[in-house]
Amino acid sequence: MARPNSTFTSYLVTPSELNTALKRQPSDTDSRIIPLCGSWFLPNDPQKRKGHDVFQQSHIPTARFFDIDAISDTSSPYPHMLPSPELFQETMRSMGVKREDTVVVYDTAELGIFSAPRVAWTLKVFGHKGVHVLNNYRLWVEAGLPTEEGAGQTFERTEYPLPHLESSKIVSFEEMRDIARKSTSNNNDSSGINILDARSTGRWQGTEPEPRPGLPSGHIPGSTSVPVPELLDPETKAFLSAEQLRKVFERKGVDASKPVISSCGTGVTATVIETALIAAGYGEGEGRRVYDGSWTEWAMRAEGEDGLIVKGG
């Protein structure tokens, strides 16, 4: 079996690096570089945009589209929970992706960095080794690098093997509840675990509504607010430099030597925090996990239990 492409030296890939790698890629190589669009918008998007519509308007040539909503556990009452290994396998086969391919996931030019880290994290959770995030498609477009319109190409199916879900990277509601209960009985001290919430400060404090009707806002006991915009350049919407990211985490009181659980509204932007930790130089060690159900599952299952939904700062 061919080894994953080792062209890229860091998890985040610049537009120039990806463009150069794609141009230099031999047509008959066993280990290819595959651009993968993970565009997605919140259900309350004021322009009612959809990820696949934006993909058809503009995407990197040879890119595939990964639909976060469709490639998920659709039997769950919570949105875009992780898919089954069988669905993930079929998705990779139908997109024409091989196990040894290097996949570079990117977002919309409109949002910069938003949902691509979720798609990249999903690939890693299912054991795909060659995974990177483009930083970012807005800069790709502004640099005048190649784009195309339309539904994209049709690719030959591959024989992607049935993957194993790396459950050690995921936190369940039951475990989060145990951690939160210990926190509430210990003055909001989460016992050496960093619980980081990527939602806006207002949603975390309970002063702004959630984008899903009927869902209360607030936060998990012991969690810290780390809104996504604080991790990105305000103009380019690309990740801040490693030094700037470390300063953000230090200012938030994050001890990256201890376990980190990232959360958000539905498990999408939680992975922006996870990606920022990698970009900041904190590695991908054990104890770094994502709460897949995030606030939507938490608010629906913890409501009514004393102290498990916190309002205020």
* Structure token digits, residue 230: 């604080």
Which pLDDT tens digit goes with each residue over 28-53? 667 899 999 999 998 888 999 999 99
For the domain with range 168-302, which CATH number is right: 3.40.50.300, 3.30.1130.10, 3.40.250.10, 3.20.20.70?
A: 3.40.250.10
Which pLDDT tens digit goes with each residue over 122-142? 999 999 999 999 999 999 999
186 vs 251, residue with greater confidence: 251
Q: Which of the four pLDDT bands, split at 50, 70 and 90, describes residue 4? A: low
**Neighbouring residues of 165: CB distance < 8 A, sequence distance ≥ 6:** 82, 85, 125, 126
For domain 12-165, say whether CATH 3.40.250.10 is its number: yes
Q: Is pLDDT of 263 > 50?
A: yes
End-to-end Cα separation, the chain, in angstroms = 52
* Structure token digits, residue 254: 């994050």
pLDDT score for 126: 98
Q: Do the domains 12-165 and 168-302 sit in the same CATH topology, yes or no?
A: yes
β-bridge partners, 105: 36, 133
| E-only strand ranges, the chain | 12-13, 33-37, 64-65, 102-106, 131-134, 170-171, 194-197, 223-225, 260-263, 288-291
Share of the chain above pLDDT 70, in %: 95
pLDDT score for 44: 84
| Coil/strand/helix, residue 219 | strand
The model's pTM: 0.94
3-state DSSP helix/strand/coil % of the chain, to nearest 5? 30, 15, 55
Q: Name the least confident of 64-68, 93-97, 186-190, 272-276.
A: 186-190
Domain boundaries, the chain: 12-165, 168-302
| Nearest by Cα to 279 from 251, 238, 224 | 238
Return the active site residues: 264
d(C-alpha 122, C-alpha 271), whole Å: 9
